[in-house]
């Protein structure tokens, strides 16, 4: 069952990626934007949207449930600090790996 779920999940991701790229291109055409603007602005906003929405939904959920400002503050701090540290860790790993692979002998 797990293999079937994996294949279906990969197919769903592929389908969503195709829909996303087509939608970005159509939106760029309707707004009369060049290919560079479409790729650098619309695609960037679209790909950053999930990382932006998750803390917003979590904060709204904390306020609606009634745990209040303390939980919302912790969620905000985690979102603000967590993403840059994750990206920095990944970037340092990639830089270190590329230094090892492409060093001159």
In angstroms, the CA 14 to CA 11 distance is 5
Ordered by start, the domain boundaries in the chain are 2-101
Tell me what the mean pLDDT of segment 13-25 comes to.
Answer: 90
Asked whether residue 42 carries a pLDDT value surpassing 70, the answer given is yes
Tell me what the mean pLDDT of segment 59-77 comes to.
Answer: 73
In angstroms, the CA 29 to CA 33 distance is 6
Cβ 87 vs Cβ 96: under 8 Å: no
Cβ 75 vs Cβ 62: under 8 Å: yes
Q: Is the pTM for the entire model greater than 0.75?
A: no
Q: Which residues of 40-65 are buried (b: 16+ CB within 10 A; e: fewer)?
A: eebbeeeeeeeeeeebeebbeebeee
């Amino acid at each position: 069952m797990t293999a079937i779920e994996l294949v279906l999940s990969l197919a769903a991701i592929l389908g969503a990626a195709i829909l996303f790229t087509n939608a970005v291109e159509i939106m760029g055409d309707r707004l009369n934007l060049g290919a560079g603007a479409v790729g650098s602005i619309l695609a960037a906003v679209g790909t950053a949207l999930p990382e932006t929405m998750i803390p917003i939904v979590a904060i709204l959920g904390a306020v609606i449930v009634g745990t209040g400002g303390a939980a919302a503050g912790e969620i905000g701090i985690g979102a603000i600090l967590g993403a840059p540290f994750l990206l920095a860790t990944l970037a340092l790993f990639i830089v270190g790996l590329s230094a090892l692979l492409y060093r001159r002998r």
